[in-house]
Protein backbone atom coordinates (compact mmCIF):
# COMPACT_ATOMS: atom_id res chain seq x y z
CA UNK A 1 0.00 0.00 0.00
CA UNK A 2 1.16 3.53 -0.79
CA UNK A 3 2.70 5.41 2.16
CA UNK A 4 2.68 9.20 2.53
CA UNK A 5 5.65 10.51 4.51
CA UNK A 6 4.87 13.71 6.42
CA UNK A 7 7.74 16.13 6.94
CA UNK A 8 8.05 19.65 8.29
CA UNK A 9 7.21 21.57 5.12
CA UNK A 10 3.58 20.62 4.52
CA UNK A 11 1.88 18.18 2.19
CA UNK A 12 0.40 18.18 -1.31
CA UNK A 13 -3.16 17.86 -2.54
CA UNK A 14 -2.33 14.42 -3.94
CA UNK A 15 -1.14 13.40 -0.46
CA UNK A 16 -4.49 14.45 1.02
CA UNK A 17 -6.44 12.53 -1.63
CA UNK A 18 -4.27 9.44 -1.17
CA UNK A 19 -4.93 9.32 2.57
CA UNK A 20 -8.54 10.54 2.58
CA UNK A 21 -9.85 8.57 -0.39
CA UNK A 22 -7.19 6.02 -1.19
CA UNK A 23 -6.54 4.71 2.30
CA UNK A 24 -2.79 5.37 2.02
CA UNK A 25 -0.66 4.78 5.09
CA UNK A 26 1.08 7.65 6.88
CA UNK A 27 4.61 7.84 8.26
CA UNK A 28 6.57 10.62 9.98
CA UNK A 29 9.92 11.66 8.57
CA UNK A 30 12.98 11.73 10.83
CA UNK A 31 13.09 15.49 10.30
CA UNK A 32 9.51 15.82 11.56
CA UNK A 33 10.22 13.75 14.67
CA UNK A 34 13.26 15.90 15.47
CA UNK A 35 11.25 19.09 14.98
CA UNK A 36 8.48 17.78 17.24
CA UNK A 37 11.00 16.97 19.98
CA UNK A 38 12.71 20.34 19.68
CA UNK A 39 9.53 22.39 19.91
CA UNK A 40 8.34 20.25 22.81
CA UNK A 41 11.51 21.16 24.66
CA UNK A 42 10.57 24.83 24.31
CA UNK A 43 7.09 24.18 25.73
CA UNK A 44 8.45 22.13 28.62
CA UNK A 45 10.85 24.93 29.52
CA UNK A 46 8.04 27.48 29.52
CA UNK A 47 5.79 25.20 31.55
CA UNK A 48 8.43 25.09 34.29
CA UNK A 49 8.49 28.89 34.64
CA UNK A 50 6.10 30.85 36.86
CA UNK A 51 5.10 33.27 34.08
CA UNK A 52 1.72 32.50 32.45
CA UNK A 53 1.85 31.47 28.78
CA UNK A 54 -1.37 31.13 26.77
CA UNK A 55 -2.24 27.52 26.03
CA UNK A 56 0.57 26.23 28.24
CA UNK A 57 -0.32 27.50 31.69
CA UNK A 58 -3.57 29.44 31.16
CA UNK A 59 -7.18 28.78 30.32
CA UNK A 60 -8.53 29.25 26.80
CA UNK A 61 -10.53 31.82 24.86
CA UNK A 62 -12.43 34.12 27.19
CA UNK A 63 -10.98 32.14 30.14
CA UNK A 64 -7.36 32.84 29.18
CA UNK A 65 -6.83 35.21 32.11
CA UNK A 66 -6.66 32.36 34.63
CA UNK A 67 -3.23 30.98 35.46
CA UNK A 68 -3.38 27.18 35.79
CA UNK A 69 -1.19 25.48 38.40
CA UNK A 70 1.04 22.59 37.24
CA UNK A 71 -1.02 19.86 38.93
CA UNK A 72 -4.13 20.89 36.96
CA UNK A 73 -2.58 21.26 33.51
CA UNK A 74 -3.11 17.69 32.30
CA UNK A 75 -6.72 17.97 33.39
CA UNK A 76 -6.96 21.29 31.57
CA UNK A 77 -5.87 19.67 28.29
CA UNK A 78 -8.26 16.73 28.69
CA UNK A 79 -11.08 19.09 29.58
CA UNK A 80 -10.67 21.29 26.53
CA UNK A 81 -11.00 18.22 24.30
CA UNK A 82 -14.01 16.83 26.13
CA UNK A 83 -15.86 20.14 26.36
CA UNK A 84 -15.14 21.11 22.77
CA UNK A 85 -16.30 17.74 21.39
CA UNK A 86 -19.80 19.20 21.25
CA UNK A 87 -20.82 18.50 17.66
CA UNK A 88 -24.38 17.67 16.70
CA UNK A 89 -26.25 16.36 13.69
CA UNK A 90 -25.42 13.65 11.12
CA UNK A 91 -21.97 12.12 10.84
CA UNK A 92 -19.73 13.62 8.21
CA UNK A 93 -18.18 11.37 5.61
CA UNK A 94 -15.23 9.10 6.34
CA UNK A 95 -13.07 10.78 3.71
CA UNK A 96 -13.63 14.18 5.33
CA UNK A 97 -12.57 12.90 8.75
CA UNK A 98 -9.46 11.25 7.35
CA UNK A 99 -8.51 14.46 5.54
CA UNK A 100 -9.16 16.44 8.73
CA UNK A 101 -6.89 14.20 10.82
CA UNK A 102 -4.16 14.01 8.19
CA UNK A 103 -4.02 17.78 7.81
CA UNK A 104 -3.87 18.28 11.58
CA UNK A 105 -0.99 15.79 11.62
CA UNK A 106 0.67 17.86 8.89
CA UNK A 107 0.68 20.90 11.18
CA UNK A 108 1.88 18.90 14.19
CA UNK A 109 4.83 17.67 12.13
CA UNK A 110 5.81 21.24 11.25
CA UNK A 111 7.40 21.54 14.68
CA UNK A 112 5.46 24.71 15.40
CA UNK A 113 2.86 23.29 17.81
CA UNK A 114 4.90 22.02 20.75
CA UNK A 115 3.33 18.56 21.01
CA UNK A 116 5.41 15.47 21.78
CA UNK A 117 6.37 13.08 18.97
CA UNK A 118 4.20 10.35 20.51
CA UNK A 119 1.07 12.45 19.98
CA UNK A 120 1.79 12.72 16.26
CA UNK A 121 2.66 9.02 16.07
CA UNK A 122 -0.64 8.14 17.74
CA UNK A 123 -2.57 10.14 15.14
CA UNK A 124 -0.68 8.39 12.34
CA UNK A 125 -1.39 5.02 13.98
CA UNK A 126 -5.13 5.76 14.13
CA UNK A 127 -5.17 6.68 10.43
CA UNK A 128 -3.17 3.57 9.52
CA UNK A 129 -5.51 1.35 11.53
CA UNK A 130 -8.49 2.61 9.54
CA UNK A 131 -10.13 4.03 12.68
CA UNK A 132 -12.34 7.03 11.88
CA UNK A 133 -13.64 9.14 14.78
CA UNK A 134 -17.31 10.07 14.67
CA UNK A 135 -17.51 13.75 13.67
CA UNK A 136 -20.80 15.61 13.38
CA UNK A 137 -22.13 18.08 10.83
CA UNK A 138 -22.49 21.07 13.16
CA UNK A 139 -20.02 22.57 15.61
CA UNK A 140 -17.47 24.61 13.68
CA UNK A 141 -17.60 28.37 13.13
CA UNK A 142 -14.38 28.24 11.12
CA UNK A 143 -12.42 30.30 13.61
CA UNK A 144 -10.04 29.10 16.31
CA UNK A 145 -10.08 26.27 13.82
CA UNK A 146 -12.68 23.64 13.13
CA UNK A 147 -12.99 23.24 16.87
CA UNK A 148 -15.75 20.69 17.44
CA UNK A 149 -14.79 18.42 14.49
CA UNK A 150 -11.12 18.37 15.53
CA UNK A 151 -12.12 17.83 19.17
CA UNK A 152 -14.02 14.66 18.30
CA UNK A 153 -10.85 13.38 16.59
CA UNK A 154 -8.71 14.31 19.59
CA UNK A 155 -11.23 12.61 21.88
CA UNK A 156 -10.70 9.34 20.01
CA UNK A 157 -6.92 9.70 20.47
CA UNK A 158 -7.63 9.83 24.21
CA UNK A 159 -9.61 6.60 23.92
CA UNK A 160 -12.95 8.31 24.46
CA UNK A 161 -16.04 8.87 22.33
CA UNK A 162 -17.08 6.78 19.35
CA UNK A 163 -15.30 5.84 16.16
CA UNK A 164 -15.87 3.77 13.05
CA UNK A 165 -13.67 0.71 12.70
CA UNK A 166 -12.18 -0.65 9.48
CA UNK A 167 -15.27 -2.84 9.11
CA UNK A 168 -17.59 0.19 9.09
CA UNK A 169 -19.09 -0.49 12.51
CA UNK A 170 -19.27 2.29 15.09
CA UNK A 171 -17.95 1.37 18.52
CA UNK A 172 -16.28 3.02 21.55
CA UNK A 173 -12.94 4.45 20.43
CA UNK A 174 -11.13 2.90 23.39
CA UNK A 175 -12.09 -0.59 22.25
CA UNK A 176 -10.87 0.07 18.72
CA UNK A 177 -7.55 1.50 19.92
CA UNK A 178 -6.98 -1.53 22.15
CA UNK A 179 -7.72 -3.96 19.31
CA UNK A 180 -5.03 -2.31 17.19
CA UNK A 181 -2.47 -1.99 19.96
CA UNK A 182 -2.68 1.80 20.16
CA UNK A 183 -2.27 3.34 23.60
CA UNK A 184 -4.59 6.27 24.35
CA UNK A 185 -2.75 9.58 24.51
CA UNK A 186 -2.37 11.25 27.92
CA UNK A 187 -2.23 14.91 27.01
CA UNK A 188 0.23 17.35 28.54
CA UNK A 189 0.63 21.14 28.40
CA UNK A 190 -0.42 22.74 25.10
CA UNK A 191 -1.31 19.41 23.44
CA UNK A 192 -5.08 19.50 23.75
CA UNK A 193 -5.14 22.99 22.31
CA UNK A 194 -2.75 22.04 19.50
CA UNK A 195 -5.06 19.23 18.39
CA UNK A 196 -8.02 21.60 17.95
CA UNK A 197 -6.70 24.79 16.37
CA UNK A 198 -6.78 24.47 12.59
CA UNK A 199 -8.56 24.97 9.30
CA UNK A 200 -8.08 21.29 8.54
CA UNK A 201 -11.69 20.28 7.93
CA UNK A 202 -12.50 23.10 5.54
CA UNK A 203 -9.14 22.68 3.79
CA UNK A 204 -9.61 18.94 3.34
CA UNK A 205 -13.03 19.49 1.81
CA UNK A 206 -11.59 22.20 -0.47
CA UNK A 207 -8.88 19.84 -1.75
CA UNK A 208 -11.43 17.11 -2.50
CA UNK A 209 -13.83 19.55 -4.16
CA UNK A 210 -11.05 20.80 -6.43
CA UNK A 211 -10.31 17.23 -7.55
CA UNK A 212 -13.99 16.56 -8.22
CA UNK A 213 -14.51 19.84 -10.05
CA UNK A 214 -11.50 19.34 -12.29
CA UNK A 215 -13.25 16.25 -13.65
CA UNK A 216 -16.67 17.93 -13.73
CA UNK A 217 -15.47 20.90 -15.78
CA UNK A 218 -14.09 18.53 -18.39
CA UNK A 219 -17.38 16.63 -18.28
CA UNK A 220 -19.33 19.84 -18.78
CA UNK A 221 -17.22 20.74 -21.82
CA UNK A 222 -18.07 17.35 -23.35
CA UNK A 223 -21.81 17.64 -22.70
CA UNK A 224 -21.85 21.25 -23.95
CA UNK A 225 -20.24 20.06 -27.18
CA UNK A 226 -22.78 17.26 -27.44
CA UNK A 227 -25.63 19.76 -26.98
CA UNK A 228 -24.16 22.14 -29.57
CA UNK A 229 -23.97 19.27 -32.02
CA UNK A 230 -27.53 18.09 -31.26
CA UNK A 231 -28.80 21.65 -31.86
CA UNK A 232 -26.99 21.83 -35.22
CA UNK A 233 -24.94 24.69 -33.87
CA UNK A 234 -21.74 26.11 -35.26
CA UNK A 235 -18.31 25.28 -33.92
CA UNK A 236 -16.80 28.38 -35.52
CA UNK A 237 -17.21 30.24 -32.22
CA UNK A 238 -14.70 27.79 -30.70
CA UNK A 239 -11.83 28.84 -32.97
CA UNK A 240 -8.68 29.47 -30.93
CA UNK A 241 -8.02 32.85 -32.56
CA UNK A 242 -11.32 34.15 -31.16
CA UNK A 243 -10.37 33.15 -27.62
CA UNK A 244 -6.81 34.42 -27.98
CA UNK A 245 -8.08 38.01 -28.17
CA UNK A 246 -9.70 37.63 -24.74
CA UNK A 247 -6.84 35.80 -23.02
CA UNK A 248 -8.52 34.06 -20.08
CA UNK A 249 -6.79 30.67 -19.86
CA UNK A 250 -9.85 28.78 -18.64
CA UNK A 251 -11.94 30.03 -21.56
CA UNK A 252 -9.30 28.94 -24.07
CA UNK A 253 -9.09 25.51 -22.43
CA UNK A 254 -12.86 24.95 -22.50
CA UNK A 255 -13.13 26.08 -26.12
CA UNK A 256 -10.27 23.78 -27.10
CA UNK A 257 -11.97 20.85 -25.37
CA UNK A 258 -15.25 21.47 -27.14
CA UNK A 259 -13.53 21.88 -30.49
CA UNK A 260 -11.65 18.61 -30.01
CA UNK A 261 -14.87 16.76 -29.13
CA UNK A 262 -16.64 18.18 -32.20
CA UNK A 263 -13.86 17.49 -34.71
CA UNK A 264 -15.20 15.99 -37.96
CA UNK A 265 -18.84 16.34 -36.90
CA UNK A 266 -21.47 16.13 -39.61
CA UNK A 267 -24.03 17.96 -37.47
CA UNK A 268 -22.36 21.30 -36.80
CA UNK A 269 -22.77 24.36 -38.98
CA UNK A 270 -26.33 23.88 -40.26
CA UNK A 271 -27.43 27.44 -39.51
CA UNK A 272 -28.64 28.05 -43.04
CA UNK A 273 -30.77 24.92 -43.42
CA UNK A 274 -34.53 24.88 -42.92
CA UNK A 275 -34.45 27.33 -39.99
CA UNK A 276 -31.74 29.91 -40.78
CA UNK A 277 -29.77 31.34 -37.86
CA UNK A 278 -27.10 33.98 -37.66
CA UNK A 279 -25.91 32.98 -34.19
CA UNK A 280 -26.56 30.29 -31.59
CA UNK A 281 -28.16 31.16 -28.26
CA UNK A 282 -25.93 32.31 -25.43
CA UNK A 283 -26.17 28.99 -23.57
CA UNK A 284 -24.50 27.37 -26.59
CA UNK A 285 -22.32 30.15 -27.93
CA UNK A 286 -21.01 31.32 -24.54
CA UNK A 287 -20.36 27.88 -23.07
CA UNK A 288 -16.54 28.33 -23.08
CA UNK A 289 -16.80 31.75 -21.48
CA UNK A 290 -18.89 30.51 -18.54
CA UNK A 291 -17.06 27.23 -18.04
CA UNK A 292 -13.77 29.02 -18.56
CA UNK A 293 -14.47 31.56 -15.85
CA UNK A 294 -15.20 28.64 -13.54
CA UNK A 295 -11.92 27.02 -14.49
CA UNK A 296 -10.05 30.20 -13.63
CA UNK A 297 -11.87 30.26 -10.29
CA UNK A 298 -10.60 26.72 -9.71
CA UNK A 299 -7.06 27.91 -10.44
CA UNK A 300 -7.33 30.66 -7.83
CA UNK A 301 -8.82 28.27 -5.27
CA UNK A 302 -6.03 25.79 -5.96
CA UNK A 303 -3.44 28.49 -5.23
CA UNK A 304 -5.08 29.24 -1.88
CA UNK A 305 -5.21 25.51 -1.07
CA UNK A 306 -1.53 25.07 -1.91
CA UNK A 307 -0.57 27.91 0.42
CA UNK A 308 -2.69 26.47 3.21
CA UNK A 309 -1.25 22.99 2.66
CA UNK A 310 2.21 24.48 3.30
CA UNK A 311 1.05 26.33 6.42
CA UNK A 312 1.38 25.55 10.13
CA UNK A 313 -1.90 26.66 11.69
CA UNK A 314 -2.01 26.73 15.49
CA UNK A 315 -2.27 29.18 18.38
CA UNK A 316 0.08 29.80 20.04
CA UNK A 317 2.97 28.68 17.83
CA UNK A 318 6.57 27.85 18.60
CA UNK A 319 8.73 30.05 16.36
CA UNK A 320 12.17 29.02 15.08
CA UNK A 321 13.86 31.41 17.51
CA UNK A 322 12.17 29.71 20.48
CA UNK A 323 9.46 32.27 21.13
CA UNK A 324 5.92 31.04 21.75
CA UNK A 325 3.52 33.62 20.36
CA UNK A 326 -0.23 33.96 20.04
CA UNK A 327 -1.63 34.72 16.58
CA UNK A 328 -4.77 34.64 14.46
CA UNK A 329 -3.65 32.20 11.77
CA UNK A 330 -6.48 29.82 12.67
CA UNK A 331 -9.01 32.19 11.10
CA UNK A 332 -10.53 30.46 8.11
CA UNK A 333 -11.22 33.50 5.90
CA UNK A 334 -8.78 32.64 3.06
CA UNK A 335 -10.23 29.16 2.68
CA UNK A 336 -13.84 30.19 3.31
CA UNK A 337 -13.80 32.81 0.56
CA UNK A 338 -12.69 30.40 -2.16
CA UNK A 339 -15.11 27.72 -0.98
CA UNK A 340 -17.91 30.23 -1.49
CA UNK A 341 -16.42 31.44 -4.77
CA UNK A 342 -16.46 27.87 -6.07
CA UNK A 343 -20.10 27.42 -5.06
CA UNK A 344 -20.99 30.46 -7.21
CA UNK A 345 -19.10 29.07 -10.20
CA UNK A 346 -20.75 25.66 -9.73
CA UNK A 347 -24.22 27.19 -9.67
CA UNK A 348 -23.59 29.12 -12.87
CA UNK A 349 -22.15 26.14 -14.72
CA UNK A 350 -25.23 24.14 -13.75
CA UNK A 351 -27.50 26.98 -14.81
CA UNK A 352 -26.11 27.22 -18.34
CA UNK A 353 -26.21 23.42 -18.71
CA UNK A 354 -29.90 23.38 -17.74
CA UNK A 355 -30.68 26.09 -20.34
CA UNK A 356 -29.14 23.93 -23.07
CA UNK A 357 -31.18 20.93 -21.92
CA UNK A 358 -34.38 22.97 -21.99
CA UNK A 359 -33.55 24.12 -25.52
CA UNK A 360 -33.10 20.52 -26.66
CA UNK A 361 -36.60 19.66 -25.41
CA UNK A 362 -38.44 22.68 -26.84
CA UNK A 363 -39.66 22.01 -30.39
CA UNK A 364 -39.74 25.77 -31.07
CA UNK A 365 -36.02 26.13 -30.34
CA UNK A 366 -34.50 22.72 -31.03
CA UNK A 367 -34.35 23.06 -34.83
CA UNK A 368 -36.32 20.01 -35.81
CA UNK A 369 -36.15 17.71 -32.79
CA UNK A 370 -39.41 16.17 -31.51
CA UNK A 371 -41.08 17.82 -28.48
CA UNK A 372 -39.32 16.73 -25.28
CA UNK A 373 -37.39 14.22 -27.41
CA UNK A 374 -40.46 11.98 -27.06
CA UNK A 375 -41.09 8.93 -29.20
CA UNK A 376 -44.77 9.79 -29.77
CA UNK A 377 -45.33 13.26 -28.31
CA UNK A 378 -48.62 13.45 -26.47
CA UNK A 379 -48.75 9.75 -25.81
CA UNK A 380 -45.18 9.98 -24.51
CA UNK A 381 -43.83 12.77 -22.28
CA UNK A 382 -40.23 12.07 -23.21
CA UNK A 383 -37.69 13.88 -21.05
CA UNK A 384 -40.06 16.60 -19.80
CA UNK A 385 -39.70 15.69 -16.13
CA UNK A 386 -35.98 14.94 -16.38
CA UNK A 387 -35.63 18.66 -17.09
CA UNK A 388 -37.85 19.43 -14.08
CA UNK A 389 -35.45 17.46 -11.91
CA UNK A 390 -32.51 19.27 -13.43
CA UNK A 391 -34.22 22.63 -12.85
CA UNK A 392 -34.88 21.74 -9.19
CA UNK A 393 -31.21 20.91 -8.76
CA UNK A 394 -30.18 24.22 -10.33
CA UNK A 395 -32.54 26.14 -8.07
CA UNK A 396 -31.00 24.40 -5.05
CA UNK A 397 -27.52 25.24 -6.33
CA UNK A 398 -28.43 28.92 -6.49
CA UNK A 399 -29.40 28.80 -2.81
CA UNK A 400 -26.15 27.01 -2.00
CA UNK A 401 -24.25 29.79 -3.78
CA UNK A 402 -25.22 32.29 -1.07
CA UNK A 403 -21.89 32.90 0.72
CA UNK A 404 -21.41 31.46 4.18
CA UNK A 405 -18.31 33.60 4.67
CA UNK A 406 -20.36 36.80 4.50
CA UNK A 407 -21.85 35.83 7.84
CA UNK A 408 -20.26 35.97 11.27
CA UNK A 409 -21.71 35.16 14.67
CA UNK A 410 -19.85 36.11 17.88
CA UNK A 411 -18.83 33.42 20.35
CA UNK A 412 -16.79 32.84 23.53
CA UNK A 413 -18.20 35.83 25.41
CA UNK A 414 -17.22 38.15 22.52
CA UNK A 415 -13.55 37.06 22.63
CA UNK A 416 -14.07 35.31 19.31
CA UNK A 417 -16.20 38.09 17.89
CA UNK A 418 -15.59 37.49 14.18
CA UNK A 419 -15.61 34.05 12.59
CA UNK A 420 -15.21 32.73 9.05
CA UNK A 421 -17.97 30.09 8.76
CA UNK A 422 -15.54 28.22 6.51
CA UNK A 423 -16.72 24.78 7.64
CA UNK A 424 -20.26 25.70 6.61
CA UNK A 425 -18.97 26.96 3.26
CA UNK A 426 -17.20 23.64 2.74
CA UNK A 427 -20.23 21.56 3.69
CA UNK A 428 -22.52 23.34 1.25
CA UNK A 429 -19.90 23.15 -1.50
CA UNK A 430 -19.84 19.36 -1.13
CA UNK A 431 -23.59 19.32 -1.73
CA UNK A 432 -23.17 21.69 -4.66
CA UNK A 433 -20.55 19.50 -6.33
CA UNK A 434 -22.78 16.47 -5.85
CA UNK A 435 -25.72 18.25 -7.47
CA UNK A 436 -23.65 19.64 -10.34
CA UNK A 437 -22.77 16.06 -11.23
CA UNK A 438 -26.48 15.27 -11.52
CA UNK A 439 -27.13 18.37 -13.65
CA UNK A 440 -24.37 17.41 -16.08
CA UNK A 441 -25.75 13.87 -16.17
CA UNK A 442 -29.19 15.11 -17.25
CA UNK A 443 -27.65 17.22 -20.04
CA UNK A 444 -25.68 14.17 -21.17
CA UNK A 445 -28.85 12.07 -21.16
CA UNK A 446 -30.81 14.59 -23.23
CA UNK A 447 -28.03 15.51 -25.65
CA UNK A 448 -27.12 11.89 -26.36
CA UNK A 449 -30.75 11.08 -27.19
CA UNK A 450 -31.03 14.21 -29.35
CA UNK A 451 -27.91 13.36 -31.35
CA UNK A 452 -29.28 9.88 -32.04
CA UNK A 453 -32.53 11.41 -33.29
CA UNK A 454 -30.69 13.40 -35.99
CA UNK A 455 -31.16 10.81 -38.69
CA UNK A 456 -29.06 11.16 -41.80
CA UNK A 457 -26.34 13.20 -40.11
CA UNK A 458 -23.14 11.73 -38.67
CA UNK A 459 -21.96 12.89 -35.24
CA UNK A 460 -18.31 13.53 -34.46
CA UNK A 461 -16.18 10.46 -33.68
CA UNK A 462 -15.71 11.64 -30.08
CA UNK A 463 -19.41 12.16 -29.44
CA UNK A 464 -20.18 8.79 -31.04
CA UNK A 465 -17.72 7.25 -28.59
CA UNK A 466 -19.41 9.01 -25.66
CA UNK A 467 -22.89 7.89 -26.70
CA UNK A 468 -21.74 4.31 -27.27
CA UNK A 469 -20.03 4.18 -23.88
CA UNK A 470 -23.11 5.65 -22.19
CA UNK A 471 -25.32 3.00 -23.74
CA UNK A 472 -22.92 0.28 -22.58
CA UNK A 473 -23.12 1.81 -19.08
CA UNK A 474 -26.90 1.36 -18.99
CA UNK A 475 -27.89 4.88 -20.02
CA UNK A 476 -30.95 4.18 -22.20
CA UNK A 477 -31.48 5.70 -25.64
CA UNK A 478 -34.53 6.93 -27.58
CA UNK A 479 -37.81 5.08 -27.45
CA UNK A 480 -41.24 5.02 -25.79
CA UNK A 481 -41.63 6.29 -22.24
CA UNK A 482 -40.12 4.12 -19.52
CA UNK A 483 -39.12 4.50 -15.90
CA UNK A 484 -36.54 7.31 -16.20
CA UNK A 485 -34.96 7.27 -12.73
CA UNK A 486 -32.74 4.22 -13.41
CA UNK A 487 -31.51 5.77 -16.66
CA UNK A 488 -30.70 9.03 -14.88
CA UNK A 489 -28.93 7.17 -12.09
CA UNK A 490 -26.81 5.37 -14.70
CA UNK A 491 -25.99 8.70 -16.36
CA UNK A 492 -25.04 10.15 -12.97
CA UNK A 493 -22.66 7.25 -12.29
CA UNK A 494 -21.22 7.57 -15.83
CA UNK A 495 -20.31 11.21 -15.20
CA UNK A 496 -19.31 10.79 -11.53
CA UNK A 497 -16.72 8.06 -12.00
CA UNK A 498 -15.06 9.68 -15.01
CA UNK A 499 -16.26 7.32 -17.75
CA UNK A 500 -17.78 10.22 -19.70
CA UNK A 501 -14.46 12.03 -20.01
CA UNK A 502 -12.58 8.78 -20.58
CA UNK A 503 -14.87 7.89 -23.49
CA UNK A 504 -14.28 11.24 -25.18
CA UNK A 505 -10.54 10.99 -24.62
CA UNK A 506 -10.36 7.69 -26.49
CA UNK A 507 -10.76 9.87 -29.58
CA UNK A 508 -9.53 13.32 -28.56
CA UNK A 509 -6.60 12.35 -26.39
CA UNK A 510 -6.24 14.05 -22.99
CA UNK A 511 -8.59 16.99 -22.55
CA UNK A 512 -7.52 20.19 -20.80
* DSSP 8-class letter at 377: B
- Residue 265, C-beta contacts closer than 8 angstroms, at least 6 positions apart: 229, 235, 458, 459, 460, 463
Q: What is the Cα–Cα distance from 161 to 153, expressed in whole angstroms?
A: 9
Q: Which residues pair with 117 in a beta bridge?
A: none
In sequence order, the β-bridge partners of residue 170 are 164
Nearest to 405 by CA among 346, 338, 337, 334: 337
SS3 state of residue 52: coil
Which residues fall within 8 angstroms of residue 306, CB to CB, at 6 or more apart?
A: 13
DSSP string, 383-452: THHHHHHHHHHHHHHHHHTS-STT----BTTTTB-----HHHHHHHHHHHHHHHHHHHHHHHHHHHHHHH
SS3 of residue 6 by DSSP: strand
Contacts from 211-216 at CB under 8 Å and sequence distance 24+?
Answer: 211/13, 211/17, 212/433, 212/437, 213/294, 213/298, 213/342, 213/346, 213/433, 213/436, 214/298, 215/498, 215/501, 216/349, 216/433, 216/436, 216/437, 216/440, 216/495
Q: At what angle do helices 461-472 and 200-230 cross, to 10 degrees?
A: 120
3-state DSSP helix/strand/coil % of the chain, to nearest 5: 55, 5, 40
Quick one: which H or E segment has residue 89?
strand 88-91
DSSP reduced 3-state for 104: helix
> Is residue 388 among the annotated active site residues?
no
DSSP secondary structure string for all residues of 203-219? HHHHHHHHHHHHHHHHH
Rounded CA separation 462/226 (Å): 9
Helix/strand/coil for 333: helix
Distance set, CA 78 to CA 85, 151, 193, 320 (Å): 11, 10, 9, 27
C-alpha to C-alpha distance for 434 and 389, rounded to whole angstroms: 14
Q: Interior CA angle at 379 toward 378 and 383, to 5°?
A: 75
d(CA 378, CA 366): 17
Length of the chain as a residue count = 512
Distance CA 439, CA 434 (A): 9
Residues annotated as part of the active site: 54
Amino acid sequence: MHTVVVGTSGVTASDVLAVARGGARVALSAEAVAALAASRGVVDALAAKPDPVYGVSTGFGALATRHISPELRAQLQRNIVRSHAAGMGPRVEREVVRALMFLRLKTLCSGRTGVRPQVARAMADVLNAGITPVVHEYGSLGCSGDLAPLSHCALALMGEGDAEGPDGGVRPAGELLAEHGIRPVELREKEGLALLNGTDGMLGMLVMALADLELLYKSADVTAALSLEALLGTDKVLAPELHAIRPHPGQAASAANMLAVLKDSGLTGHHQDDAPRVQDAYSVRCAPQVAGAGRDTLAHARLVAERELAAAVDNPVVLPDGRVESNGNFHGAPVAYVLDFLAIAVADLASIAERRTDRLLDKNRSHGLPPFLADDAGVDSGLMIAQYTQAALVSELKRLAVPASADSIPSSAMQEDHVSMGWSAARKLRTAVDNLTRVVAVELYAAARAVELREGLTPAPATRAVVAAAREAGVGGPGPDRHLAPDLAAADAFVRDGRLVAAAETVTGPLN
